[in-house]
Amino acid sequence: MHRLLPIIATAAFLILSAKLCFSQTVTVTINPEADAFVRAAAPTNNYGGAGAIAVSGPTAVNASNEQNGAFDSLIRFAASNAVASLDSVLATHDWLVLRATLKLTEMGAPPSTIFNRGVGTFEIRWIESDSWIEGTGVPIAPATNGVTWNDLPSILNSATDVSLGQFTNSGTDTRLSFALSLRDAFLSDFRVGGRVTLYLTAISAQIGFTGDSRTFISPNDIPALEITAAANPHPHIESIKDLGTNVILSFNTVSNWTYVVQVAEQLSGTWSNLLTLATQPTNNQVIYPDVKSSSQRFYRLSVSQ
């Protein structure tokens, strides 16, 4: 869900207008250009060609009940083609991201004893750095030509990186979908059309999550970032009229969006909902009366899907 929040003060009695557009939704799917897991127990080894990514807590064990230590993973997507597709269908950069989903195929019983097993919680973060190198290392022949555990302090940045949510694996062979939080930094990075890196790290000490990577033999099982966007409905309050004891708000709707009118006594104050309208038809005019409780109030209109 993504919202636009134009703000209008009753004291100014502003009347705004804009051309309405029909809502259209488009979904694009992006496969990684690079991915790799890194290991705390082998901090100088690279595993970028392993055919797998992995997230593990420090106490997880493999099929032989042996601990292999913590694993983290990095996945990088090139967003340029996806953004170009959205621009061509929805109008150049005049669209909103509604949903972002990371899809991974879990291996419940990975064949190599290097991988831990176990169900638990992990976190997905958007990270600012895209400069890491995938490398070519595999479990039986690690390399030194790509990202390693020792590189993480130079890649991660607590001041700019943001969490996109915490999730749980299944412990079975299955395709999983993780709905990512639509954080501003993540969305801004995607809309630029450059590279977008996601970092996966364990929250639970016992988690042992192994998934297919972009070099896995089956293209249907590799990671995918799925983005759903819609044409910008340009929400705005058309007019605000002072009728003495009441204030009359009016606005027009675009189909397939939910509209919420909010109010606050001051811009820095708390916003509360006045009116919520489920999906409306296009060009439906909404007129809403609000009791005038003070000489100045602030209103804003938000939309969601």
Q: Where are the alpha helices (DSSP H) in 91-168?
A: 152-155
Q: Residue 88 region, left (φ>0) first, then alpha (ψ -120 to 50), else beta?
A: alpha
Rounded CA separation 238/134 (Å): 51
pLDDT of residue 23: 52
pLDDT of residue 129: 97
The CATH code belonging to domain 26-231 is: 2.60.120
**Mean pLDDT lowest among 20-24, 175-179, 268-272:** 20-24
Distance in angstroms between the alpha carbons of the first and the last residue of the chain: 6
Model confidence pTM above 0.85? no
Give the pLDDT confidence of 241-289 residue by residue, as tens digits: 888 888 899 988 888 788 999 988 888 888 999 889 887 787 788 988 9
Q: What are the boundaries of each domain within the chain?
A: 7-22+233-304, 26-231
Q: In what order do the strands lie in the sheet with 239-242?
A: 239-242, 246-252, 285-291
Looking at domain 7-22+233-304, its CATH class is mainly beta
Rounded CA separation 56/237 (Å): 50
Please, which pLDDT band fits residue 11 given cuts at 50, 70 and 90? very low
